[in-house]
Amino acid sequence: MTIEEVQNEIIDEFSMFEDWEERYQYMIDLGKTLPLIDEKYKTEDNIIKGCQSKVWVHADMEGDKINFTADSDAIITKGIIAILIRAFSNQHPKNIIEANTDFIDKIGLKEHLSPTRANGLVSMIKQIKLYAIAYQTQLN
């Protein structure tokens, strides 16, 4: 699936819920399915700067695609990173770099986060794209 197809799937899933309480519960459930980062990658180098809670993200190149793993010490944040990893994992670096992230606005996530969590979300996206840039450079 392309990034856009995955993002559209996420938008469709979130549209099934009546209110934000149900959406938060869904995010918590998604967080429970997150491909967890290996403990050895829970280092300062893999911590997302700008997040209120601790979030670690690690990327590995498999063939010409990047796979992400992550973890967080907060359940909502874990759900947020799970959504991002679902959208961007198993994708080519160039596609991640060029990907639009407006699906976040379409599911209404940014407007329902506290300012510090919204900043953390932006930092998570930035870090995922930085990994993609680094791996794209290696491919060239």
* d(C-alpha 57, C-alpha 117), whole Å: 16
Read off the tokens for 116. 């510090």
**133 included as an active-site residue:** no
- Are the CB atoms for 35 and 85 separated by under 8 Å? yes
Size (the chain), residues: 140
DSSP letter at 95 equals: H
Residue (of 61, 60, 55, 63) closest to 83 by Cα position = 55
Catalytic residue among 27, 51, 70, 107: 51
Q: Which residues are catalytically annotated? A: 51
